[in-house]
Structure 1
């Protein structure tokens, strides 16, 4: 199974010539250039600033690429534009067709194209806007404004929620279009003979698949020799193969698909249906999911203290796992879905940390092991901000920050490196 993470528009090339107008990366003529530099001489902040400079240049190049492909498509058709991209840019036919589709969509999205050209809208964000515009009559300027300030995963959820909000049928038509657009391929890669599976499905089906694969991965992990463990990618591959090749094998209990909805006390109905990662789904889908999935109603009440286990157990309870899925919406380091994650004690268990909701963090295996335990990344809480003057503030979110960039805070916890904590509820 694979997902398309490659940029749909383009990337920057470095040169040794300074910008003509003196502004980093932009010429008076409208061209784009990034100065070559010896990155080994840059400090940590300088390296991060360098990446930001390159990202803005990539956005400007993306606008140029989209303009060019769009003009070829206007003159000679989408097929001719894809053929030109394949030949002149040495990309696959699949990538070329995707680029042309996005370029044609971007041609009707002036604010998004201008944001790309200015370097304020990241390439991946522009791609999300372009594809969302094909699903619903989106408020493009609102999305462009959010794109300039939100990370990729947060913005993806923002756009999904916006598309559901502006759809007159609670997103039913959007979900149906996604289901119609499903595709799957299995092919042998010529370079090394490996077989590659590529699968694109709607979010609800994807969440159910993700839950099944995650359960199979946990089962494999528990059966492994601790001294000879698979890598996470190997375990995921084996889990998928097992589910396909041995569909009748006994499955372990406890595989839950988390579907969330709010209850309107005035109208006595469910509203705002969504998956655990925040992806909106039509309320009617909940009934379909409930046919063969466990429904877990939950009311979180701070006064009960039932989300605080202290030192009585090391692993999170089912209720804590559900509450953490609602709060973190997946790995706080990379955004992978909560069903594929584990839980980290912010104040480490071996240093006296407790298994309490406010001391737990949702992280995937890679971020848990590599970022937190090996590289010393620090969990930091970012309070929410109003999305516009008429809306209440978002509750906020955790992020993992490198130790040289995280803001320290004075608090009552034994580890002085820990950043500001989230409110418990």
Structure 2
């Protein structure tokens, strides 16, 4: 073996710096196929060596706690990659030898070998070795047509071909087992970062994953040709929209005796002068621009504070666009009023054209519906909004976008 590997290494080394530009298209394809076959054959040799190495306990004899950790240090692999090699080497040695031979013959790839080994293990546990042998032959044949992902999907129904009498019962048992694993492993973790942001991680079961995609996918499409957000940023903003909608329904359970809500504390003078920051009830700070945007569609609780900051008196809520006024706003605007936006009313905030903090009143002529994205855009961008002569909103683009600054309207929502 050592002599053969030395010869193989020398032959491959001789091909390491070839003049590939001189190859015609047919020769280029043939060379690529040959290199791929050699790669799979060498993978079979490598797995055989790893299995023998592991079986002898050489790694522990040399001071490593496991073969996988020894491989990490020796071959500079990640631990998961090393463990996958050890697991596959064991499966090919103790399982059906047909998989190992198919890899050595370059009939399957290393990734396909993993899929076949996993599938055959399941089949053997369900119906025995005879069906497992049959499954190997069928899966190796399919491997000539399908990549590992499709091969794994086909493998979920392999019993239809090798043991049709029990296929349905086995499939149901597998589905039940998967449902139990999903229920056991479901979790969501919220980790607060030092700068106030939140890291969201977790694993959703199949039903919850479907619910989330059904709710979030319609909101992740770009809002227009000028939308420069990445897909990840659009999903982030869609999740924010879902939270706003949930809070707006009023159907969430109370939390600490109060309706579900976010609470921002700021100085009224700072709010009017567009200065200072707001503070969430969690103690984290928001920029003045964010506070003013949130104030457009929020309840204001005026408070009188003592010299040490104690609350001495809290007045009644005021300035919230709700009830009959919001219904009238919905009837007039029918959705987000920014040009080209198709967001429906339930996804929209009520924006004060003349900010309430600047003395604007809470009335239909001083309000427009804006989705969360365009609400931020209006507060942070150079666009202006006003009501036209017919009482419908129109937007003045910034001069850098349109030197003539011709007013634009949203024609998506049907007007009566």
TM-score, length basis structure 2:
0.41
Q: Which has the higher contact order (CA 8 A, sep 6+)?
A: 1
TM-score, length basis structure 1:
0.41
Q: Which has the larger radius of gyration?
A: 2
Q: 1 or 2, which has the higher helix percentage?
A: 2
